[in-house]
Amino acid sequence: MKVKTSGVWQMTLAMMISGTVGWPVVILGLPATTVVFWRCAFGALAMLVACALLRLLKKGRLTRRQAAIAVLGGIALVLNWTLLFAAYSYASIAVATVTYHVQPFMLVGLGVLFFGEKLTANKIAWLLLAFGGMLLIITGKHDGAASGSHYFTGVMLALGAAFMYAVAAAIVKQLKGVPPHLIVLIQLTVGVVLLAPFAGLDALPSTANAWLLLATLGLVHTGLMSSLLYSAIQKIPTSLVGALSFIYPLVAIIVDWAVFSHRLSLMQLLGAAAILLAAAGMNFGWRLMRAKKKPCLADERQTP
């Protein structure tokens, strides 16, 4: 019981940290590629220490195939962060984060296309609800928001981020048995190498506050959050992980309102509720449609 309780607190804290990631990104005002590069750099440092403490750096821990798959996942993860951070400046933290949570449906689509998974009528129903919510968000821009074209760009960037996250998750599914901390270390290292040419290293941040925010993104929002998340996943049921994951978008909406005074319009709120409800339904296997009852054997034997 104590183990489960500690897992709940760890998952809750991890999701609260995730929900505040947009705060330092927006305050920094740097290009998304620069922010993601330094997030990867500081995060890789944190994960290197974690892997060393957990003795995960032994030779032969990974096969070449597993290493190659982890690298591909790293490319997808870096693109995911870059697109999401870029979306914040076009739409808002709240809109981008909620739109980003259509990712479960994109993962379902990838499962159908590449892994032979079945698309049930119930999943289609939740998908349609999420699609309706997305339309409400796209059309529900209030008067104080960014111009229509910029807002639409932000929503599309968030959808692109969700797709890349689904790709990363599908790739990581192929790495069962590989320690998650080691996977993240590889992915962050890939991010450092991939984004170095685009990170503006010839014009480094000049203030201590900027360096503090970048270090916070890497050490807290990546290193600490990942450690808490992985520890929690090992202690609590998957259903509880899914339930607590909705703390992330809720915290993001509160941060966007409290810090940046971005309030969602009524249509945006309805769209956000529809997307989060649909995502919850997918996570927990809720049924919108009842399965047809099969006639029992006794009934089949009865004559009319």
pLDDT of residue 109: 83
Positions of the chain with pLDDT lower than 70, given as ranges: 1-3, 142-148, 239, 289-304
pLDDT of residue 303: 34
pLDDT of residue 298: 45
> Burial letters for 254-279: b for 16+ Cβ neighbours within 10 Å, e otherwise?
ebbeeebebebbebbbbbbebbbbbb
pLDDT of residue 193: 97
pLDDT of residue 245: 85
pLDDT of residue 148: 66
pLDDT of residue 293: 54
